[in-house]
Chains A and B, each alone.
Chain A
Amino acid sequence: MGVFVQTVVAGILIGGIYALVGIGMTLIMGVMKIINLAHGQLMMVAMYITYVLYEYAHLDPYVALLVTMPALFVLGALIQRFLLNPLIRVEAILPENQVLMTVGIGMVLTEIARLIFHSDYKSVRPAYTSMSLYLGSIAFNLPMCIAFGIAVLLTIGLFVFLLKTDMGKSVRATAQNKEAALLLGINAERITVFTYGLGAALVAAAGTLLLPIYYLFPDLGGAFTLKAFVITILGGLGSTVGAIVGGVVLGISESLGATYVSMALKDAVGMVIFLLVLIFLPGGLKRLTKI
């Protein structure tokens, strides 16, 4: 019983960070109607920035959030503005051109990271990474708890932004109906640039929070891109609340899979769930929410 509870707790904590990964992806999907296949790679870039700041400027990873989020916001906005938006006007045989472009972008980001940092594993281990809080016999790993807390705060912040501010409402409007939004005077192109930046900033936060409990290498991006899909599909495309649920579900199922099935098949658990949801539950959990 103790092992089971411990596993679920670990799953929920990591799920909070996964939710952050998924929300970024789902925002981009909702507004641009594209799958962002460079999502994990953006996270990887943020992690390397965090790593460099820690290694050379001795900046705490949680302080580094203030650097990585704006930095990735700018990177994301630039990608959307100069690489993705021009494709809207292009006539191509395959409508998936933008998606394929993100594949190329992901590849280039990975290779640049490999060129600078080489393929070996890096990690950031401040003193507090090994500390744990105890509730009865259940351990709560401290950096995971901090990460979970910050992830929750960021998510709440995002919701307030989407629900209360003009910009947030414009983003939602564009996601719901682009033509109508255009007619009502929303500059859709600017919204897409902003949204991709926002998505990149959120996944940057996830990466920075994850670094103290994880390790880092250039190909990490690809693995997290896959995780991001699973989360978004679980939650239903374009649904932010769904992404949170999807993140937690993936966190718990991976955690249970690693404990009770095998470490090697941990990733397969996510993929199998993903396939089943794709086929039997199209739309995910979107029905439950309006956001």
Chain B
Amino acid sequence: MYRIIEHTADIGIEACGKNIEEAFENAAKGMFSIITNNGKIERKIERKIEIAREGDDEMLLVDWLSELIYLHDVEKLVFGDFRVKINDKLVATAYGEKYDRAKHGYGVEIKGVAYHMLEIKRNKKGFVIRVLFDI
């Protein structure tokens, strides 16, 4: 589950999950819904992603989303589904396909993931992530 949060010149997401892995998955889904303007993304291609943990959960989240932006930019891929495992590092599979403007819609070009107001909170139901993007 995620929802888009907006501010005058920027955009972000609030993503929840029963554990931190699910919250990371939903944050990524939310990010691609912004990039594609909510187009349906099929599972045609998968990419394995591994990210070493070099700081706190927040930094790991920024690294995770930044890696996906990089893959999107270089390989022109969009992803709609994710499996994330986090222990001493993040190991994930991202499922998606080549970006097609006509099929996926035309959203916003995300320049980067901001540390500004970045937050990962634990509550009774699990985890809530708040993250903003520079667009």
Q: A and B, one complex? A: no
